[in-house]
Amino acid sequence: MFLKSKGFQLCLAIGLGIIVFLLPRPEGTKFEVSGDADRVLYNSLSLHFNLIPDDKNPQHYILEAKTPGATEARHSFILEKAGALKLENVSVEYGNGLSPRAKRFLAVLVVLVFMFVSEPIPLELTAICIGVSLVAFGITDVKTAWAPYMHPVVVFIMCCLIFAISLDKAGITKRLGYFIIKKAGTSVTKFTFIIAIGLGLASAVMHDAAACAIGIVTMLPLMRAAGIEPNSRTAKFMMLSLPFACSCGGMGTLMGGGRCMVSAAFLKEFTGIEITFFEWIKYCMPAAILTVPVAVLIVYFVYRPNPKYKLPQFDEEIGPLTALEIKTVTIIGLTFCLWLTKGFHGIHYSITGMFGVTALVLFGVLKWEDINDNLEWGTALFIFGGGISLGLAMGYSGAAKYFAYLFFPLVQGGGWLLLFVGVGVFGALVTNAMANVAAAALILPIVIPMALLEGVDPTVLALCLGTATSFAMLLVIGCPPNAIAYSYRYFKSADLTRVGVVATPILLLILILVATTWWKFLGLV
C-alpha cells in the first residue's frame, strides 16, 4: 500500500531526477561555432582543436578536440577565448557532448515522465509543472515555456473537441452508433473493431485527432447505457482502440498527419527530391491498412472486454436527417474541405477550424455554454500544450541532438535496413516526448546527410520517419488522439503505457516488413 501511495511515488520521481542530475556529464569532443567567418576564434585555438569546415555555410564550423578530456578541450575554455577576443556575435554549442542545460532538462524529463505514468498528481497539474520546471531550472525563459500551451496544434485540438460536442448535440453520433449497431449487433467487441478500424482508416484523409474525437463521443453514450464502468477492462479496450487505430491510419496519406507533410517537405528542402501525394499513398497506405487492425487487436488482447456487457439496441427507426443535423454536417464538412485543401489556400488548420466553430455558434448549432460546459480545457490546453513545450525543450536544450550523436553512429555502415530500423526506433521513442510533427522536423535534418553518406536513398528515411512517428503510444502526451481519449477519464495514463509497450515494437516490425517487401517490390530499396 505504501509503495502505491502518491507521496511515495512523488518522492521516487524527484529521487530519479536527482540521480540523473548527479550523473557525470559527457563533455564531448566536438563544438559547433557560428558567426566566425574569419576563423578568428579557431586561429587562437588551433593548438588544441582541428577544424571541420561547413562548405555550405562559411559562418559555421566545428572544432574537434585534439586531446579529449584536457582542460583546453572543454566548452568553457572556448567561451573564455571568445570572451578574451571580444567576439560578441560568436556562439559556441556542444556538438556530440551534453550541455549543462541539456542535463538539467534530462533530470526534469525523468521526473515528469515518471509522473505522467504513475499519476501521483492529476496529469493537468503535471503538465503545468512542465512550464514551471523549464523556467525554474533555467532551461528556458518564461515566454518560451508557456507559448506552446497555446500552440496552433492546441487550438486545432480544441476545434476537434468542439466539433465532437456539436456532433453529439445534433444527434449525428447517435446516428453513427445506430448504423454500426445495426451491423455489429450488441457485441462490444464487434462494435469497437468496426468503429476503431473504420475511423482509423478514415484518419488517412482527415486528421487523426478529429477522427478520434468523433469516435469517442459516439461510443460514450452507448458505454454509459451498457453500464460499462471507467477503468474496467472493457472501457480500456474501447477507449484505447480508437487513438491507437487513428494514429496508425494517419500515416496513409500526406494529409493524414502533419508528420507526413513535414517529412516530405524536409526531404525536398535538403535533397530536392519530391514525394508526390500518390507516391506517399503507394508506399505508406499498405502499412496503414495493416497496422490499424493490428493495433486494435493488440489492445483487445491486452484488455479483453467482458462479454457480459451488451450495447443497447435501438427500438425505433432513427428517421431522416433533421435540420440541425444537416447544418452541423454541412459546416463540419466544409471545414474538413478547408483542412484537406490547406496545400492550396495555405490557411492553418487552427484558423479554418475556428471558422467552423464560429459558424456552429452563428447558425445556432452550439451556444457558448455548450462549449464551456463540455470542452475538456485541461486536456487541450495543459496536457497537450505541456507535451509540446516539453518536446520543444528537448530540441533547444540540446538533449535531442546529444541522443542523435550517441545513437546514430551505432547504425552507420550497416546499409539501408539497419539505418531504417535505427531511425524508426529512435523516431518512435522520441515522438512520445514531443509532437510527432516536431519529432520528424528534429530528426530528419540529422539523418538525411547520414543517408547520403551511406549511399541510401533519403526518400526511405523520410518515409520511415513519417510513418514511425505515428507510433506515439507510450505516454498520454505523445499525440493528440491519446490526450483526447484520456480526457474522458475512462483509463489511467499507466494503462495506455502498458498496452503501448506491447504495441510499439509489433507495429514497428510490421513497418519494417512493409519496407523490406512492398518497398522492395516497388524498387525503392
User: What does the pLDDT average to over 400-425?
Assistant: 81
Task: Name the residue with higher pLDDT: 257 or 58.
Answer: 58
Which residue bears the cell 509543472? Answer: 129
Same domain, 175 and 269: yes
Range with lowest mean pLDDT among 239-253, 362-376, 419-433, 435-449:
435-449
Flag whether pLDDT at 433 surpasses 90: no
Same domain, 63 and 125: no
User: What does the pLDDT average to over 256-265?
Assistant: 74
Distance, in Å, from the CA atom of 187 to the CA atom of 275, rounded to the nearest integer, reads: 42
Task: Name the residue with higher pLDDT: 470 or 316.
Answer: 470
Answer whether 258's CB lies under 8 Å from 437's CB.
Answer: yes
What is the reported pLDDT for 443? Answer: 75
Same domain, 513 and 465: yes
Same domain, 420 and 478: yes
Same domain, 114 and 85: no
Which sign does the torsion angle of CA 101, 105, 107, 108 carry?
A: positive
Which residue bears the cell 567576439? Answer: 87
What is the reported pLDDT for 392? Answer: 76
Distance, in Å, from the CA atom of 435 to the CA atom of 153, rounded to the nearest integer, reads: 9
Q: What is the CATH number for 37?
A: 3.30.70
Which residue bears the cell 551505432? Answer: 410
Query: pLDDT exceeding 90 applies to what percent of the chain?
Result: 35
What is the reported pLDDT for 217? Answer: 85
Answer whether 67's CB lies under 8 Å from 6's CB.
Answer: no
Task: Report the half-sphere exposure of 417 (CA within 13 A, side-chain side).
Answer: 9
Domain limits for position 454: 146-524
Same domain, 397 and 490: yes
Same domain, 76 and 183: no
Count: domains in the chain: 3
Distance, in Å, from the CA atom of 223 to the CA atom of 229, rounded to the nearest integer, reads: 8
Flag whether pLDDT at 270 surpasses 80: no
Flag whether pLDDT at 441 surpasses 70: no
Same domain, 231 and 180: yes
Q: 184-231 pLDDT, tens per residue?
A: 788 999 999 999 999 899 888 777 877 888 888 888 888 998 899 999
Distance, in Å, from the CA atom of 105 to the CA atom of 322, rounded to the nearest integer, reads: 53
Same domain, 299 and 155: yes
What is the reported pLDDT for 143? Answer: 93
Q: 167-189 pLDDT, tens per residue?
A: 888 988 888 888 888 877 889 99
User: What does the pLDDT average to over 264-271?
Assistant: 76
User: What does the pLDDT average to over 8-30?
Assistant: 91
Q: 359-389 pLDDT, tens per residue?
A: 999 999 999 999 988 887 777 678 778 877 8
What are 34's strand-pairing partners? 60, 91
Same domain, 115 and 39: no
Q: 89-125 pLDDT, tens per residue?
A: 888 989 888 999 999 999 998 998 888 878 888 888 8
- Mean pLDDT of the chain, nearest integer: 86
Q: What is the dihedral of CA 408, 427, 388, 290, to 10 degrees?
A: 180
Same domain, 106 and 91: no
What is the reported pLDDT for 193? Answer: 94
What is the reported pLDDT for 86? Answer: 87
Answer whether 474's CB lies under 8 Å from 481's CB.
Answer: no
Same domain, 280 and 428: yes
What is the reported pLDDT for 445? Answer: 67
